[in-house]
Amino acid sequence: MSENSSFSNFMTLQKNITKRRVWLVVLAFVTYILYDVCVFLLSFNQLGIRTKLAISLLGKNGFNPLITAVGSVLLAIEGFRWLSNRQMIDFYESQPFSKNAHFFGVFVNSAVILFLSHLAGTGLGLISAAAFKASSAAVVKDAFFCFAMDITIFLAIFSVSTLAVMLTGNLTVSVFAAIVLLLYEPVFKFALNTCFTYIPAYVGPGIPYNGIFSPVLTVINHTGDIYNIICAAVCLTLAFFLYRIRKNEDAGKAVPYKTVRIIVKIAIVLIASMLTGLMFISDDSDSLRSEVIAVIISAVVVGAVLEAIYNSDVRKAFKGFGCTVLGGFLAIAIIMSCRLDLFGYSRWIPAKEDVASASILTTDNVKVKLSDIDTVNALLKAGEENKDETESMFELTISYQMKNGRKERRKVYIPKSAKNLMKRIVSSDDFKKGYFKVYNDADIEKNLSRVSISYRNFEDGAKERFANSSDIYNDLKAAYIRDIADYDFDTAAYKMEIGEISIIRSDDSKERNYYYVLPVYKSFTNTVKFLKAHDMYVSPGKLTDETGNYGPFYVFPKKISY
C-alpha cells in the first residue's frame, strides 16, 4: 500500500471518529476557552493583581490540569465504548480499517482534540491578558509550561482510562473502573498515612509514594512529568495487549477476566474496610473492638456488592467469600499493626555508636542540636515508656541523623519523672548556643551601623522603646550571656517572659527586618539593668496566659511564676 493511500485511510478514519464525537470536540473547545478567557476577564477587579492573577489562571496552579484530566477520561471511555456493545462491535469490524488502526486512531484523535482546544484556550487567554496589559514573560512562560505539563497528564490519564475500559465489558463498570484506577492509590496512601498517625511516637510527612497506575498525585503536586510518560507507556501497552486478545463475547460482562475480578475485589474490600475502620479509630484502647467490627461489616457488605456486580445477580452476592475474608483480614492487620505498634516503631532507641547527631524541637519550633546522645536517648526512652497523660509535661520531637545517612524522628510526651534529664539538656552549652541566637550573630557584628535594638513588654497595647545599637550592642550581648549562664529548665518551662528584645537590621531600602528576638525573664538582672541604663525598660505590668509568653517548653497546665 502506498504512503498516499495509507495517509488517506488514516485521515478517513480520523474523520469518521470525529463525526461520532462532535459533542466532545465542542465541549473541549468551549471549556478551555471559557476558562482561559471568560473566567480570566471576569476575575479582573483589582489592577494591582492582574499579572499575578493571569499567572495563576493560565499556569500550573489554575484549573487547566483538572480540565485536562477530566477530558482525558471522557475521551478514553467514549472512544472505546463500542467494545461494550455487540452490535457496535459488528459495525466497527465491518469498517475498512484494521483493529490496530481503530485503537491508535482513537488515541491520536483524542490527543488532537485535547491539544488543539487547550492551545486555543491558552492562545486566546494570552491575547486577553495582553489586551488588559496583564501579559508578561512570566505569564507566557507559565501558560506554556502548563500546556506542556498537561500533555503528559493527558498521556497518563488517557492511558489509565483506556486500560480500565479494556479490563471491563460494561460501559458503566468502565467508568467505575477508571475512577478506581485513578483514585485508588491516592486514597490508599491517605489511609496508610492516617493509620501511621496512630503509632504512638510517629512523626513525619508520610510515605513518599506517588503511585504506579495513578498519576493523580503528580497532578496535585505538579510533579512527575517523566513519571506520567512512563505510566502512559506501561498502561497503554497493557491496554493494547488486552485489546488484541479481547473476545467479542466479553461485551456486556462487568469484568470478563477472572484474575482481574479477584485482584479488584481484594483491593476494593481492603481500602473500603480500612476507611471504615479509620472512622471508628481513636487513641482509646476500648475502641479496638468497634474498629474490628466496623472493618468486618464493611468487608462483607462491599464484597457482596462487588460479587452482585460481577455476576449481575444479587443471589450470588456471597460468592467468592474467600477474597472478602482476605481483604478484610489485610485491613485489620494494617490498622492493628499501627494501633498496637506491632513493629516496635515507638520502642526504637538508636545505638549511640550509630548516631551522627541528635536534636530536639522546642515548643516554639527551634531545632537545637545536641551532642549528649546518652541523655537524648534516655529522654526518648522516658517519653516512649510514658503511658500516663496526667504525668506528661509537654510534647517533644526528637530527631537523629544516623551515620548511614538515614534520618529518624520520634514525637513523645515527656513525663515529669524526666525533669532531671531536661535540666541536664537545658543547662548544657549545646542547648544555650543552639537556642539563643545571640551566639550566632556574625552578620550583626559585621553590620552594626545598620542595627537597632527594640524592647517591648507583653501587655495589651504594649509599649516599645527603641535605641540605636551601633555603640551598645556588644554591651547588651555581654549582659545577656551573663544571664544565660544561669538559665535552667525551671526558667525555660515554668517562668513567664516579662518582655522581649528584638534585634533589628535595616537594609538598603530602609525597611525594618527583624533579625532575631531575645526573651527576657525577671531573673535576667544584668539584661534588665542594661535596659534601664539606656532608658529602654518597660514595666511588665500584670501578665496572663493571654498576654504573656512562655519559653521553649510549654508545660500545661501552668501556674504563672515570676
188-243: per-residue pLDDT in tens? 988 998 888 888 888 877 776 666 667 777 666 656 678 888 888 999 999 999 99
C-alpha to C-alpha distances, 128 to 56, 196, 477, nearest whole angstrom = 15, 48, 58
In a domain, 336, yes or no: no
Q: What is the DSSP letter of 39?
A: I
For residue 140, the number of C-alpha atoms closer than 13 Å in the C-beta half-sphere is 6
Residues 429 and 442 in one domain: no
User: Can you tell me the mean pLDDT for 137-150?
Assistant: 80
- Cβ neighbors of 402 (< 8 A, separation 6 or more) are 350, 354, 355, 356, 408
* Cell numbers placing 253: 460482562
Q: What span, in angstroms and rounded, lies between the C-alpha atoms of 354 and 146?
A: 45
pLDDT at residue 266 is higher than 60: yes
Place of cell 467494545: 83
pLDDT of residue 561: 37
The dihedral built from the CA positions of residue 475, 481, 485 and 488, taken in this order, carries a sign that is positive
Exposure string of 388-421, with b = 16+ CB inside 10 Å and e = fewer, is: eeeebbebbbbbbeeeeeeebebbbbbbeebeeb
Residues 493 and 396 in one domain: no
Q: pLDDT per residue over 519-555, tens digit each?
A: 999 899 999 999 998 888 888 766 655 555 777 888 8
Q: What span, in angstroms and rounded, lies between the C-alpha atoms of 386 and 250?
A: 60
Look up the domain containing 98 and give its range. Answer: 3-183+213-250
Residues 170 and 33 in one domain: yes
Contacts 24+ apart (CB under 8 A), 340-348: 341/199, 341/200, 345/199, 345/201, 345/202, 346/199, 346/200, 346/201, 346/202, 346/384, 346/410, 347/384, 348/408, 348/410
> How close are the terminal C-alpha atoms of the chain, in Å?
95
What global pTM score does this model have?
A: 0.76
In a domain, 562, yes or no: no
Q: Among 250, 274, 309, where does a domain finish?
A: 250
Taking alpha carbons only, the member of 477, 527, 467 closest to residue 499 is 527
Q: What span, in angstroms and rounded, lies between the C-alpha atoms of 250 and 480?
A: 81
In a domain, 121, yes or no: yes
In a domain, 355, yes or no: yes
In a domain, 255, yes or no: no
238 within 8 A of 163, measured Cβ to Cβ: yes
Residues 246 and 378 in one domain: no
Residues 168 and 52 in one domain: yes
Higher pLDDT, 157 or 60: 157
Distance of CA 293 to the CA centre of its chain: 31
Residues 130 and 173 in one domain: yes
pLDDT of residue 304: 93
Residues 419 and 475 in one domain: no
User: Can you tell me the mean pLDDT for 311-315?
Assistant: 83
Q: How many domains does the structure of the chain reveal?
A: 3
pLDDT at residue 47 is higher than 50: no
- Cβ neighbors of 140 (< 8 A, separation 6 or more) are 126
In a domain, 383, yes or no: yes
Q: What span, in angstroms and rounded, lies between the C-alpha atoms of 387 and 485?
A: 34
Q: What angle do CA 219, 137, 111 make, to 5 degrees?
A: 40
By residue count, the chain amounts to 562
In a domain, 340, yes or no: no
Amino acid at 449: S
Q: What angle do CA 245, 250, 255 make, to 5 degrees?
A: 100
For residue 109, the number of C-alpha atoms closer than 13 Å in the C-beta half-sphere is 27
Exposure string of 477-505, with b = 16+ CB inside 10 Å and e = fewer, is: bebbeebbeebebebbbbbbbbbbbbbbb
